[in-house]
Amino acid sequence: MTRHTPYHQLIIFVVIYFFFNSLLLPEGLLYTTLLTPLMVYFLFKEHQLKRLMVWSLALLIPIPFQWIHGVEIKSYAISSLMIVTVLIFLVTALLISRKYRFTFDKIFRKILVINTVFVLLALVILPFGEVRGLLWYEVPITKGMAIIPRLKLFTYEASYYALIMMPVFLYFMMRVFYGLEKHAMLIILASVVPLLLSMSFGVIGALIIALLVGIIFYWNRIPVSLKRFTFLSTIFMLTLLILMWMVWPENPIYFRIQNIFQGKDTSAMGRLVYSFMFAYDIIVQHNFFFGIGPGQIKIIAHDMIVNHYQYHGDLETIVRIPNSMAEMMAIYGMYGFIFKLFLEIYFFIRMRIYNNLYVVILFIFIFIYQFTGSFISNIAEIGIWAFIFGLQFTEFNTNITTK
């Protein structure tokens, strides 16, 4: 490591980001939020405040149009401030990823080791119900199924844990696929087992699709080891699925898939269908082009659910939209929805993300996932976007060029 690589300073913040960001804090507050002043100082030292202010203009454009339609000022101000802190985090994480990209192999290895230790600890306490909830998520995975503990470690929910760890897990999976790791079996176990223990259908499903699309599209440019692994793993998975169907047809995976297709899985329906339906109805009734503004969903949600949808059952104290793109639509209207997609595709092309298989797969993964879950201020999702546009591990370069 060169003297220009502040590994020891970075690893502290990275460990907080991956493992302890919400530990012992009130719901909705993160350590990355509290560290915003430090990030602003870092951007100031790196002469990046001007760039931050330029990107902030995108948040200013909808304000007058949202205020014309009326907003609850306190909620609007607090939520807008939270969104600004997320933007600051994005710019900071992007700068760090680019500036210190050669350090991230070592950082990711440290994160994988720490995660493995925590997973082993979680497995030790799994039989003890009194403390199991510290590291396991104990909420039914779907309607009609008993509670199955799902790995979450120190995060608030299993899917969030799987999402935030995805850049690390995928990196080491790819290195094993490329035949670059000495202890391949240990590495693959450390990367795959925690993901499976989280039982996050959305994360795992999006990853499988991203891997398939990436491998098929780059088939002629990937090493023989990855082709062989793809062939063998496909046979293994198909065999395993057939055996599970024959021996244990009521297993949790098939049971939830059946519930999803029958519309009985409230989580899947809420994320995939109801979120977009609710967001669309909100902007149609209030402000189609610029949305209702930050912090306003919880203000109008109860009244709209009762009066518009004629629902008179039990409602959560605070109603949220559990889908990043649907929430973007509700808050910033079609302006925000289209602008976000435009930026993602524009920078994918401009920064030639297609020249590196690791970030291509990570891009496809989070592009899909943003339509199936998450929320607009989700630091896990924002961090992945920063890694995509900041990190490009050269061992995964595909050398695709355009005319």
Q: How does DSSP assign 226-252, residue by residue?
A: HHHHHHHHHHHHHHHHHHHHHH-TT-H
The single-letter DSSP state of residue 26 is: P
Question: What pLDDT is attached to residue 209?
Answer: 95
Question: What number of other Cβ atoms are within 10 A of residue 22's Cβ?
Answer: 20
User: Is the confidence at residue 225, as pLDDT, over 90?
Assistant: no
Question: What pLDDT is attached to residue 311?
Answer: 54
Rounded to whole angstroms, the Cα distance separating 17 from 26 reads: 16
Report the chain's terminal Cα–Cα distance, integer Å. Answer: 37
Rounded to whole angstroms, the Cα distance separating 301 from 330 reads: 11
Helix axis angle, 184-198 relative to 104-125, nearest 10°? 60
Q: Tell me if the pTM is above 0.75.
A: yes
Render pLDDT for 299-356 as a digit per residue (tens, 0 to 9).
887 777 655 555 545 556 667 888 999 999 999 999 999 999 999 999 999 999 999 9
Over range 117-127, report the average pLDDT: 97
